[in-house]
A and B are shown apart, each in its own frame.
Chain A
């Protein structure tokens, strides 16, 4: 029997690691992976609460989150490939054309 709070704590730790990845890393692909990490930690919290409250809604929501994440990754990686076609880099510090 594992207390709910342990799962929530793990979810929080993983989310923090994802935030750190987005803030610290400059390879756009790794930033993307960190976003996936954050989505996963949120999913873990949702499944935990669904189990704790014995409500199926949480698990259904995770199903939808995974679907949206798949679509998001496909479009995001296509954007990255398109940017790489013109800039020849995936370093997000060098993609600053919109900077004033």
Chain B
């Protein structure tokens, strides 16, 4: 049963990613990315990570995609990019390199001995419960947790500085 859920989510995730790459319209790309992120969120649930499932939906599917959509509409960037290439050999080489990377990944995954292919979902039922995540986050990982607030503050200040209007000298 879990395998069926995995296969459906994986197919949806891959279709979302491919459609994102092929869409001419940047808004369609953002919406296909949303599909992909939602499919990955389902996989988190399958991996017994309900906390990350919620975070993925709130932060990625909620905040980040909305930010993308706002900027796409703000810039009017949804029109198709023109097809002429300044660097003619770039796309074929990129495709070849991508396929090589994919082949490498598949080889590494399947070249492992069977012992490495342990099945997941064999552990404790409440592993990854929000309660345990919170306890670890506020004890063992307290310093990195506080540091993320500095990162977020730096991002806020950076965005404000980037868009501060220069006042003409009076």
Q: Is the A/B pair a real complex?
A: yes
Q: Which A positions have Cβ atoms within 8 angstroms of B?
A: 1-10, 12-21, 23-27, 29-30, 32-34, 36-37, 40, 43-44, 47-48, 50-52, 54, 56, 59-60, 62-64, 66-75, 77-82, 84, 90-91, 93
Which B residues between 120 and 147 are near A, CB-CB below 8 angstroms? 120-124, 127-128, 132-133, 136-137, 141, 144
Question: What is the size category of the interface that chain B forms with chain A?
Answer: 35 or more
Which residues in B have some Cβ–Cβ distance to A below 8 Å?
2-3, 6, 10, 13-14, 17-18, 20-21, 26, 29-30, 33, 36-37, 40, 43-44, 46-49, 51-52, 55-56, 59-60, 63-64, 67-68, 71-72, 74-75, 77, 81-82, 86-87, 90-91, 94-95, 97-98, 101-102, 105-106, 108-110, 112, 116-124, 127-128, 132-133, 136-137, 141, 144, 148, 151-152, 154-156, 158-159, 162-163
30 residue pairs A–B, Cβ–Cβ below 8 Å: A1-B2, A1-B120, A2-B6, A2-B121, A6-B6, A7-B47, A9-B105, A10-B13, A12-B108, A14-B13, A14-B17, A14-B36, A16-B101, A20-B21, A23-B94, A23-B98, A24-B91, A27-B77, A29-B26, A33-B30, A36-B60, A50-B49, A52-B118, A54-B123, A54-B124, A56-B128, A56-B132, A63-B55, A64-B144, A74-B156
Whole-angstrom distance between the alpha carbons of A8 and B116 in the complex? 12
Among candidates A12, A33, A37, A68, residue contacting B148 with C-beta atoms closer than 8 Å: A68
- Docked-complex contact B123 and A5, CB < 8 angstroms: no
Evaluate contact between A66 and B14: CB separation under 8 angstroms.
no
Residues of A within 8 A of B68 (CB): 29, 32-33, 73, 77
Contact between chains at B26 and A47 (CB < 8 Å): no
> Given the complex, which residues of A lie within 8 Å of B91, measured CB to CB?
23-24
Contact, CB under 8 Å: B81 / A27 = yes
Q: How far, in whole Å, are A47 and B56 apart by their CA atoms in the complex?
A: 12
Q: Which residues of B contact A19 (CB under 8 A)?
A: 97-98, 101
Cα A5 to Cα B40 in complex, Å, equals: 16
